[in-house]
Amino acid sequence: MIDVASINQTGSGIRLPNFCNLGVMLRSLVIANLFVLAAATLKAANVQRVGAEFMVLAAFCEPVLIASLVALCAARRWLHRLPYVVSLAIIAAFEIALAWGVYHLGAGLALAGAMSLAQLAFLTLFVTGCLIAYFDLRSRALAPAVAEARIQALQARIRPHFLYNSINAVLSLMRSDPRRAERALEDMADLFRVLMADNRTLAPIADEVRLARQYLAIESLRLGERLRVTWRTEGMPGDALVPPLVLQPLVENAVYHGIEPLEAGGEIQIEVGRAGEDLVMSLRNPYQGASNHPGGNRMALQNIRERLQLHFDAEASMLAEVSGGEYRVTIRLPYMTAPA
């Protein structure tokens, strides 16, 4: 596993946002400009003057905001390695210095007589503090999805349909094929080990694929030829980092809701590869309308979607759709690796 703090993602264990993330940049621009608009509205003598006041304040704030995002993006790894309070103090000092520089390099001419440097410094710190607080609260709001993912997966593992049937399948192989029975027990041990681990850190996609293969190997003991799986991972970058337990729950849903209800079984198609600067995961399975199994599919999908937002914000997406008798889930997220 890779420590989230060692990479440039927002997530559990990190309270600073990833300033290189497109979603973080867009949210910062929108929120900062809303504050500028509010300040312009308060300062304007009448409604007609709001636009003019906004342009004056924007002439100062926009260069500061853009320069801040560029600089903080460049320094993200260094800031994430520092204690949280220290990194906040550095950001505050940098913002004050940047505001002073922009003010004296020309933007202050437009602000002459409008706001003093002290007022602008206060506005800069206030907006910066609100942005940091917003991203911190957003991260905390999404963080429970990480623990929930492990709980859901652990509950799935101890469901009688999986645990008891898997044990019975292993017992039936003890004499006829002891080597295969031993491998099945090892796969079960690995599954539980991953589920009991701290899953707040990103993991290589190769580990996720291996976990999904182990799960399918166990399920094949009881489903036999009813379960057919096609893997397309030739173009997979094994070092790409993804949230843990992002692929295995999708595979489990495909088995539980797509294969088990069919008397003749069916085929699951799993494709993992790189598309430009993105990592794309796609999974297909048969779809026969409402399953006889109890719900849980939507909860798993929502949990994965929340964890993608937590780690990658607007740069990741997940699409679930039904087409031509197939249920398809496609996940797209930025291709990134652990720092050297």
Residues 207 and 323 reside in one and the same domain: yes
Of 111, 126, 142, which marks where a domain is finished?
A: 142
Residues 34 and 90 reside in one and the same domain: yes
Q: What's the domain range around 78?
A: 4-142
Query: What sign does the CA torsion over 44, 48, 51, 56 have?
Result: negative
SS3 10: coil
Residues 212 and 80 reside in one and the same domain: no
Helices (H) and strands (E) in the chain, counts: 12, 7
Q: What is the pLDDT along the chain (340 residues), one digit of tens a residue?
A: 333 333 334 434 446 788 888 888 888 888 888 888 888 888 777 888 888 878 877 777 788 888 888 888 888 878 878 888 888 888 888 888 888 887 777 554 455 445 677 777 787 888 888 888 888 887 777 666 555 555 455 444 445 456 666 677 777 777 777 887 888 788 777 777 766 665 567 889 998 998 899 889 888 888 888 999 999 999 899 999 998 888 988 998 898 889 988 888 899 999 999 998 999 999 999 987 665 555 545 667 887 888 888 788 888 999 999 988 899 999 999 998 887 6
> pLDDT value at position 4?
38
CATH classification at residue 314: 3.30.565.10
Residues 122 and 236 reside in one and the same domain: no
194 falls within a domain: yes
DSSP-derived secondary structure for 96-127: HHHHHHHIIIIIHHHTTTT--HHHHHHHHHHH
> pLDDT value at position 8?
38
340 falls within a domain: no
Residue 125 CA to residue 289 CA, distance in Å, equals: 54
Q: How many domains does the chain have?
A: 2
Residues 243 and 229 reside in one and the same domain: yes
65 falls within a domain: yes
Residue 258: DSSP 8-state: I
Contact 68, 76 (CB under 8 A): no
